[in-house]
Structure 1
Amino acid sequence: MKFGATIKDALYQDWQASYIDYGGLKRFIKDRQAKHQWDDADEADFIKALASELDKVVKFQESKIAELTDKITNYESEVKDLIAAADASHQPQRSNGDGEAEGEDGDVEAGGADDDSLSDTSDDEFEDRFVDLEEDLANVIADVHDLGHFSHLNYTGFVKIVKKHDKRTGFKLKGHFMKDFLEKRPFYRENYDGLILQLSRLYNMVRTRGHPIVGDSSAGGNQSAFVRQTTKYWVHPDNFVQLKLVILKHLPILVFNPEKEFEPDDAAITSIYLDAPDLDLYMGRLEKTEGAEAIRLRWYGGMGVKQIFVERKTHREDWTGEKSVKARFPIAEHLVNDYLAGKYTMDETFEALRKKGKKTDKEVDSMIKLAREVQAAVKHKKLGPVMRTFYNRTAFQLPGDARVRISFDTQLSLIREDNWDGVTRSGNNWRRTDIGIDWPFPQLPDSDKELFPYGVLEVKLQTQMGQEPPEWVRELVSSHLVEAVPKFSKFIHGCATLLPNRVDLVPFWLPQMETDIRKPATQKAQIQRPPTSHSNTNSGTPSETRSTDLAQYTEPVSDDEEDEGNRHIGATADEAGWADLDPQAAAEAKAYREAQSKVAKGPGGRSEQSHLVAAPPKPPKSNEFFPKLTPANLSKLLDSRYELERDRGLNQQGPSTEAREEAEATGAAEATGNPSGLSLVPGRVEYVSSFRAGQGKKIAVPVRVEPKVFYANERTTLAWIEFSVIISAIGIGILSFSDPHDDIALAAAASFTTVALLAILYTAWTYWWRVRMIRARQAVQYHDYIGPTALCGILLVAVIVNFSLRLKQGI
C-alpha cells in the first residue's frame, strides 16, 4: 500500500496541517525531475523544504505537549477543589445541643426531609461533575495516544521521503539528514512519561473520587489458598505509549515519593550479575535446576546512589512444595568491594539495626544468614561481575495492594562487565565506571552491549483459588499489544548474546529475535474517546472510531508505490471477535470469500493471480531441529511474523528487500528502540514447527522434570520386565511338559524364550536412554511406538509358526 495513502488514512484529521506534507515533497521531486536533471540547486531547495517540514512537526509536538501539560495542571486544580468541596459537604454540621443544627450565624436550621433532599441533590451534583471530569480525562488520554501516533507516523514519513529522494535523484541525503537534522531534533524519541505520570495520578484521583484505595501490603497473602502467577511479555516500541495509557486507566503508576517532581533518573534500575568463568549460575538458571541461584547487585537511580542491594534469587521446583524466593539486604556502595573480597562482614551493621529497633530479630537473623551465604558463594564459586542490565521501569500498582502488579521495562540494555577476554572493563572494581545510565551508551563498542529491541512487560497476579483475573488484564494480555515469552530472563539473554564463545546452550526465545512481534490490531485494549464526548472535534482518529481502531497504522511493506492493489487474503483465528461481528455474519462472509476464490481459480486449479501470493517457505535442511514447544501458552510465540494491511486488516507477504534495507541503513532501528539492527518490519503469519540453533549451539527448551517422571520410567520398565518374565515362563513350560523328542515343542520354547530375552534387552536399553534424556532435560519423544508394536508382531509370528507346524504335523 502506498505510504501517501497510508498517512492520509492514519493521521488525526484535526492535526492534518501539522503532519509532514509527504505528497507535496514527493511532487516536488517529480516536478523538478520532469523539467531538468536534478542538480545542486534542486538539492538545496529540497533540503530547505524538508527542514521546514521538520520544523513544523517539531513545533507542533512541542506546543501540543505544553498544551496538554497545562490542561492536566488545570484539571488537577479543579479536581482538588472538587474533592475538597465534596468532603466538606459530608462533614457533620455543628449541633446546638438540642439536636438542631446551627448555621454560620447561630440561627437554628430546621431539620427533616428538606435537609435530606438537599444533601442528596448535592451528592448527585458532585457525582455528575466527577463523571464529566472522568470523560474529559479520557479525551486527554486519547490526545496523548494520538500524539504518540503523530510522532511515529511523521518519523516514518521523513525516513521514506529521504529514501525516495536518494533512489530517484542519485544524491545521497539519508546519512546527512539523519545526523544533522533528526538527531539534533529527535522528536520521535519523546516517550511522554511525564505526561503519563501526571495523567495516572489525576485519573486515579477522579476514579476513586479523591479516596484512593489503600490495602494490606500482602493483599491476599494471608489467605489459606491463593495462586500467584507471573508472566512476561515483549512489547513492540510502536505500542509503548498505548500500553501505558491502557494500564493507567485501571492501575495508577506506583510512585514512592508523590511530592517529588518526576525525573528520568527515578525510573532507572541497574543490576550487576555475578558468575564464574564457566557460567555455572547461567546454566543453572537456564536449565531451571532445583536450587539454581542468581546473585546480583542492584541500585535504583543514577551512579551517585550510595545504597546498593545485594540480592539472591533461588529457583525451586513445584514438586518440592516450596516457592522460588528472592531475598536481599542493603549495603553501602563503598563497602561492596571489601564485602565481595571477604574483608568485611555485615554482622555488625545488622546488629546495629537490631539494637536501634529498626528491624525485628527474625529479620536481622535472616539478613545475617543471607549475607554470609552470599559471601561464601562468591568465594567458593569464584564469582565476579559478568553482566549489567539497565532499563527504565514504569510500575503500575495500587499502593499497598499486591493482587495485581504490572511492571513495564523499556530501553533494556545488556552490558558486559567481565575481564575474561583480556579487555579491562570492571577491573578490580565490582562494576565498570566508564558508563552510567546514559542510554544508549554511545561510548561502548557494539561487542560490549546488546540493546534489546522490545519492552518487557511483567504481569504478577495473586488471586484466590478458583477466581479469575480481572477482565481488563485478560484483555490486555490477549491483545495485539503484547507477545508472551514465558520465563524470559534479562541475565540469560545478555550472556547468550554477548558471550557466544562461552555459551553452548541458548534460551528458546533467541532464535525468534529476528521475527517481528507486531500483530493485526484487535478491539481489545484500545484507547477510545468517550462516545458522549463533548469535545469540539468530530474527526476520526485511531483513538476515536471503531473502524480506525481496526486499522491502526503499521509501516507499509514497501515504498516503491508501484504495487497498489496487490493484496493478499488471510483470515484471523477469531474473525467474529476481531471484526466485532455476529458469528453468523462472520461465517457468511467467510463462505462468500471462499466461493469467490474458487471462481477466480484457473483451469489448472490455480488462481489466476497466483503471482501475487508467495509460496510457503521450505524449512532449511539441518540436523539440528528441535520439536515445537509443548506448553499451550508458547504457541503464540511460535506463530510469528504478522503484517496488517491497513484498510482491510489482511495478512500480507513478508517485508520486501527494500523495507529491510531501510530498517538497517537509515538508523530507523535505533530511533525506534531497535538499535541492534534487527528488522522490525512485519511479515506474513508463519507457523513454526521447529527450531534451529546456530552453528555449534543448542537450544534450551523449558522442560519441567519432577521426581514422578523418574518413577514413571521405573514403573514402565518393571511392567516390561514382568511381561518378559511371563513370556519366558511360557517358553520354559512348553519345554518342560513336552516330549523330549518333539522338535516342534523345542522350536516353540526357543522362540518364546528368545522373544523374552530380546524384550529384556530392549527394556534395559530404553530405560537407560530415557534416564539420560530426562537428566539432560531434552525435549524428545518419550512415547515408545516401536517396542510394543514389535513385541506384539514377534509374538504373533511365533504363535502362527507354532500352530502351522502342529497342523502340518497332524496332516
Structure 2
Amino acid sequence: MKFGAAIKDALYTEWQSSYIDYSGLKRFVKDRQAKHSWDDVDEADFIKALEGELDKVVKFQENKMKELTDKITEYEADVKDLIAQADAAAPPTPSTSEGGDPADTDASDDETDDEFEDRFVDLEEDLANVIADVHDLGHFSHLNYTGFVKIVKKHDKRTGFALRGQFMREYLDKRPFYKENYDAIIVQLSRLYNLVRTRGHPVMGDSSAGGSQNAFVRQTTKYWVHPDNYVQLKLVILKHLPVLVFDPEKPFEQADAAVSSSYFDNENLDLYLGRLEKTEGAEAIRMRWYGGMDAKTIFVERKTHREDWTGEKSVKARFPIKEELLNDFLSGKHTMDETFEAQLKKGKKTAKEVESMIKLAREVQAAVRVKKLRPVMRTFYNRTAFQLPGDARVRISFDTQLSLVREDNWDGETRAGDNWRRPDCGIDWPFPNVKDSDKELFPYGVLEVKLQTQMGQEPPEWVRELVSSHLVEAVPKFSKFIHGCATLLPNRVDLVPFWLPQMETDIRKPATRKAQIQRPVNSHSASPTHSPSETASGDTADLTGYTEPVSDDEEGDENQHHAITNDEAGWVDLPAQAAAEAKAYRDQNAGKLDASAPNKAAAKLQEIFPKLTPANLSKLLDSKYETERDRGLNEAAAEGQDTVNPSGISLRPGRVEYVSSFRAQPGKRIAIPVRVEPKVFYANERTTLSWVEFSVVVSAIGIGILSYADPHDDIALAAAASFTTVALLSLLYTGYTYVWRVKKIRNREAVNYHDWLGPSVLCGVLLLAVIVNFSLRMKAGL
C-alpha cells in the first residue's frame, strides 16, 4: 500500500485537515515536472509549501497539547470536588441518626450513592476519551513525521535536488514536534484516572502481598518496545496500574525519571563474563543515582547470581553513601562502619540491617581492591514505573532513551580518570558532548514485568494480553550491562550475548486486537468517526496459556512454561473459526503449490510464521517474507527506502528475515544460555557407570566362555576373543565420551549430548558376534 493511501486510512477523521497534505505535495512535484524540468523556482515553491504544511502540523499539535493539559486540569478539579462531596455525604451510622424512618433513610442513601456513582462513571468515560486523545496525538505526530521524511525522499529522487539534509537541520530539528515527551501528561493523567477508578480511595495494597504465602512464584520478564509503540504502551498500562511517584504533590520534572548507573569491572572483564555465562556467584557492582549529576546520594549496589540447585536466591543488595565520600570508599580510605552504627543508635536501622550493610560494604571494598575494578560503562534511561504503592504483586517498569556510555581509560583516553565516573556526561540525552564512538543509543525501550503470584495462580488477564500483543518483543535474560560491554568494547570482548545478532531485525509486528486503546462505546463524548484508537472492537481473540520466558536472575524454572508463538488466530487477528478454515484451505492446496512452484520455499510463504524471539532460536525458518506494517506506515518494498524513527535511529522496516543460524562478527562467539547444575554432572557419571557395568558383563561372558570351554575348541576361543574385544572397545569409547561430555559441560557449550552412534554400533557388534558364534557352532555340529 502506498503511503498516500495508507495515511488516509490511518488518520483520525476529525483531525483530517491538520495532517500533512502528502498527496497534494506529491501531486505538486508531478505537475511541475510534467510542464518543465525542475528548476530553482520550483524548488523554492516546494520548500514554501512544505514549510506551510510543517507550520500547520506543529501549530495543531501545540494547540492540542495545551487543550489536553487544560482539560486534565479541569477534570482534576472536578474529581477532587466530587470526592469531597462523596466523603461529606457518607451516610451516618444508624446509632447517630436522629428521628425519621430508617427505611426512608436507607432509600435516600442509596439514591445518593447512585448519583455519585453515575458521576464517577461519567468522569471515567471522559478520562478514557482523554487517554484516547493522547494516544491519537502520539499517532498523529508519528504519522506526520513519516510523511515529511517520505515526501522529501521522493522529492530528492524525482527532482535530483538534495533537500533532505537541509530540511532535517533547518526545519524539523528546529521544530521537533515528533519528539514531544508525553511523560508529564501521562503521570498527571495516571494519577487522576486512578482516583476516579477507585472512587477517590486508591488501593494502597500490602507490601508483603503474595510474599506471605509459603508457595509463590516470582516471574521477571524483559521485552523490547519499538519507539512507535511508546505512548500506546504507557496508556494501556496506566488504565490498570498507576504511575508510581514518590512525591505526588511535587510537579513532574523530566529529571525525576532519570536513572544512571556506573558499572565496574577489570581489564579482563571478569564480571561481564560471569554475568554473561551465568556462573554461580557471578556479581555485578554498580553505583546508581537518580536525577541529574547534582545528586548527593549514591547507591552502591551488588547483584549476585545464584543457581537454583544451591537453594539460594539471586539477590540485589545496596546501601547509600554521600557522593563526596565515594572515591575514598572505593580506594579503601573510608569505611561505612561508623555511619551505619550511627543509624543504629538513632533507631533508623535494626541491628540485623546494620550488620548486613557493614558486611556488604566491606565485601564491595575487598572486591574492588582484589579484582582491580574500575568504572567501565554507564547506563542512562528515563524510567516510568507502574505499581500499586506498597503492593509488589505486579510491578512494571518501562525504560526509554536507554544509552550506554564508556567510562574506562584502557585505550589511553582519559574518561573517568581517577574519579568513579566521567564528569562530562549528565542526563542531556543524546549526550552531544560525548563522542559517537563512546556511546551506544539503544534503539528500543525496555519493558520489565515482575509478577509475584501464588503457586498455580494465573497472572492478571490484562498482563497476559499485553505481553502477547504486538507492542512488545520478548528478550529473555537481556542485560544493559552486558549489551553495553559487548557493543562499546569490541576489542576486549570475544563472547557476545545471543540477542546481539538480532539488533538489525525490525521488531514491529502487525497490530492485533490485543492491548488496544478504545473510546467508550456508550460515551456521550465519543466521536462516531474513525479514530486510530478504535481499530478494533468486539471480543478479543481467546488468549492461550500465559508463557513467561526465563529472565535474568530468575528462580524456579520448574514453574515456567516455554512455548513458541503458535496462536495463528491471535497473530493474524482473526476469529478462531476463520483461522481454522484458512489453515484447512492452505493445507489442502499445499501439495499443488509444491508441484507447481519451481522453488519449494514458495509454499512456506503461504504460512503464518511464528515471531522471531530468542526462545525460538532452534526453530527458525530459512525463508523470507515481507509484510505490510500496520496503518500503512511503510511503502511497498519495491521502493527500497529506509525509515528514520522519531528517536533518530535508522531502521529497515517491512522485512523480516528468518535464518537457520546466527553468525557473529569475525573473531566473536555467541553466548547461548546454558544452565549447568550438579545433577548434569551426576547424570553423566551415572551414564558412564552404566556403560562400564555393561562392558564388565560382556567381558565376563568372554572370560566365562574361555574358562569353561575345551582348550582345543577354536570356536570357543574365537567367541571369547570377540566378546572380550567388544568389552575393551566399549570401555575405551566410554572413557572418551565421558571426558568429552565433562569438557563441554564445564565450558557451557550448547552441543548435542545425545549419543546416537555408540549404542547402535555396540548392539550391532554384539549381534554380529552372536550370529558368527552360532553359525560356527551349527556348522561344526553338522
TM-score, scaled to structure 1: 0.88
Secondary structure of 1:543's partner?
A: helix
| Distance change (3 Å), C-alpha of 1:381 and 1:269 | same
5 Å-filtered alignment, 1:372-771, equals 372-535=362-525, 537-546=527-536, 573-578=566-571, 581-592=574-585, 605-606=596-597, 644-645=627-628, 658-659=640-641, 662-663=642-643, 668-669=644-645, 672-673=646-647, 675=649, 677=650, 679-684=651-656, 686-771=657-742
Answer whether contact 2:695 2:728 (CA < 8 A) is retained.
yes
Separation in 2, partners of 1:188, 1:631: 32
Over residues 531-578 of structure 1, what are the superposed CA-to-partner deviations in whole Å (9 max), with x where a residue is unaligned?
Answer: 11222621112212427999xxxxxxxxxxxxxxxxxxxxx9534345
- 2:776 is equivalent to residue 805 of structure 1: yes
Following superposition, the deviation at residue 137 of structure 1 comes to 1.0
Answer whether contact 1:100 1:111 (CA < 8 A) is retained.
no
Following superposition, the deviation at residue 741 of structure 1 comes to 1.2
Following superposition, the deviation at residue 474 of structure 1 comes to 0.8
Is 183-192 or 712-721 further displaced after alignment? 183-192
- 2:282 is equivalent to residue 292 of structure 1: yes
Specify the alignment match of 2:555 in structure 1. none
Secondary structure of 1:692's partner?
A: coil
Separation in 1, partners of 2:140, 2:426: 31
Following superposition, the deviation at residue 810 of structure 1 comes to 2.4
- Pairing partner for 1:141 from 128, 131, 143: 131
Separation in 2, partners of 1:131, 1:437: 41
Separation in 2, partners of 1:503, 1:573: 36
Answer whether contact 2:473 2:613 (CA < 8 A) is retained.
no
Secondary structure of 2:31's partner?
A: helix
Following superposition, the deviation at residue 361 of structure 1 comes to 1.1
- Pairing partner for 2:265 from 254, 271, 275: 275
Is 801-810 or 281-290 further displaced after alignment? 801-810
Tell me how large the CA RMSD over aligned residues is: 2.8
5 Å-filtered alignment, 1:228-307, equals 228-307=218-297
Over residues 647-666 of structure 1, what are the superposed CA-to-partner deviations in whole Å (9 max), with x where a residue is unaligned?
Answer: 8999x99956732xx34xxx
Following superposition, the deviation at residue 224 of structure 1 comes to 1.4
Specify the alignment match of 2:743 in structure 1. 772
Separation in 2, partners of 1:594, 1:640: 18
Following superposition, the deviation at residue 470 of structure 1 comes to 0.7
Specify the alignment match of 1:622 in structure 2. none
Specify the alignment match of 1:84 in structure 2. 84
Separation in 1, partners of 2:432, 2:625: 32
Separation in 1, partners of 2:538, 2:41: 41
Following superposition, the deviation at residue 355 of structure 1 comes to 1.5
Structure 1 vs Structure 2: percent identity of aligned residues? Answer: 76
Separation in 1, partners of 2:232, 2:618: 25
| Distance change (3 Å), C-alpha of 1:412 and 1:636 | farther
Separation in 1, partners of 2:631, 2:77: 44
Answer whether contact 1:522 1:549 (CA < 8 A) is retained.
no
Secondary structure of 2:655's partner?
A: coil
Separation in 2, partners of 1:632, 1:647: 25
| Distance change (3 Å), C-alpha of 1:94 and 1:77 | farther
The one-letter code matched in structure 2 to 1:242 is Q
Separation in 1, partners of 2:731, 2:144: 72
- 2:321 is equivalent to residue 331 of structure 1: yes
Answer whether contact 2:375 2:407 (CA < 8 A) is retained.
yes
| Distance change (3 Å), C-alpha of 1:443 and 1:630 | closer
Following superposition, the deviation at residue 354 of structure 1 comes to 1.3
| Distance change (3 Å), C-alpha of 1:674 and 1:291 | farther
Separation in 2, partners of 1:18, 1:728: 89
5 Å-filtered alignment, 1:153-172, equals 153-172=143-162
| Distance change (3 Å), C-alpha of 1:92 and 1:35 | same
Specify the alignment match of 2:552 in structure 1. none
The one-letter code matched in structure 1 to 2:84 is A
Answer whether contact 2:629 2:654 (CA < 8 A) is retained.
no
Following superposition, the deviation at residue 205 of structure 1 comes to 0.3
Following superposition, the deviation at residue 411 of structure 1 comes to 0.3
Following superposition, the deviation at residue 592 of structure 1 comes to 5.0
The one-letter code matched in structure 1 to 2:34 is A
Secondary structure of 1:399's partner?
A: coil
Over residues 161-190 of structure 1, what are the superposed CA-to-partner deviations in whole Å (9 max), with x where a residue is unaligned?
Answer: 000000111110000000110000111111
- 2:342 is equivalent to residue 349 of structure 1: no
| Distance change (3 Å), C-alpha of 1:2 and 1:49 | same
- Pairing partner for 1:321 from 291, 311, 318: 311
Answer whether contact 2:12 2:530 (CA < 8 A) is retained.
yes
- 2:355 is equivalent to residue 365 of structure 1: yes
Answer whether contact 1:391 1:412 (CA < 8 A) is retained.
yes
How many aligned positions are there?
Answer: 753
5 Å-filtered alignment, 1:80-159, equals 80-92=80-92, 100-101=97-98, 109-159=99-149
The one-letter code matched in structure 1 to 2:597 is R
Specify the alignment match of 1:25 in structure 2. 25
The one-letter code matched in structure 2 to 1:460 is K
The one-letter code matched in structure 2 to 1:145 is H
Specify the alignment match of 2:51 in structure 1. 51
Over residues 56-106 of structure 1, what are the superposed CA-to-partner deviations in whole Å (9 max), with x where a residue is unaligned?
Answer: 0001011111111111111111111111111111152898xxx652xxxxx
5 Å-filtered alignment, 1:37-76, equals 37-76=37-76
Following superposition, the deviation at residue 585 of structure 1 comes to 3.5
Following superposition, the deviation at residue 705 of structure 1 comes to 0.7
Specify the alignment match of 1:569 in structure 2. none
Separation in 1, partners of 2:290, 2:38: 54
Is 111-120 or 198-207 further displaced after alignment? 111-120
Is 3-12 or 218-227 further displaced after alignment? 218-227
Answer whether contact 1:517 1:642 (CA < 8 A) is retained.
no
Following superposition, the deviation at residue 356 of structure 1 comes to 1.4
The one-letter code matched in structure 2 to 1:344 is H
Separation in 2, partners of 1:598, 1:24: 48
Separation in 2, partners of 1:154, 1:687: 31
Answer whether contact 2:512 2:573 (CA < 8 A) is retained.
no
The one-letter code matched in structure 2 to 1:46 is F
- 2:217 is equivalent to residue 227 of structure 1: yes
Answer whether contact 1:642 1:682 (CA < 8 A) is retained.
no
Separation in 2, partners of 1:790, 1:611: 36
| Distance change (3 Å), C-alpha of 1:630 and 1:510 | closer
Is 219-228 or 335-344 further displaced after alignment? 219-228
Secondary structure of 1:313's partner?
A: strand
Secondary structure of 1:299's partner?
A: strand
Answer whether contact 1:233 1:457 (CA < 8 A) is retained.
yes
Secondary structure of 2:398's partner?
A: strand
- 2:185 is equivalent to residue 213 of structure 1: no
Separation in 2, partners of 1:759, 1:778: 25
Answer whether contact 2:510 2:629 (CA < 8 A) is retained.
no
Following superposition, the deviation at residue 802 of structure 1 comes to 1.1
Over residues 365-397 of structure 1, what are the superposed CA-to-partner deviations in whole Å (9 max), with x where a residue is unaligned?
Answer: 111111111001100000000010000000000
Secondary structure of 2:360's partner?
A: helix
Over residues 403-437 of structure 1, what are the superposed CA-to-partner deviations in whole Å (9 max), with x where a residue is unaligned?
Answer: 00000000000100000000110111111011111
Answer whether contact 1:521 1:549 (CA < 8 A) is retained.
no
Secondary structure of 1:785's partner?
A: coil
| Distance change (3 Å), C-alpha of 1:189 and 1:331 | same
Separation in 2, partners of 1:733, 1:93: 97
Separation in 2, partners of 1:350, 1:429: 24
Following superposition, the deviation at residue 804 of structure 1 comes to 1.7
Answer whether contact 1:516 1:642 (CA < 8 A) is retained.
no
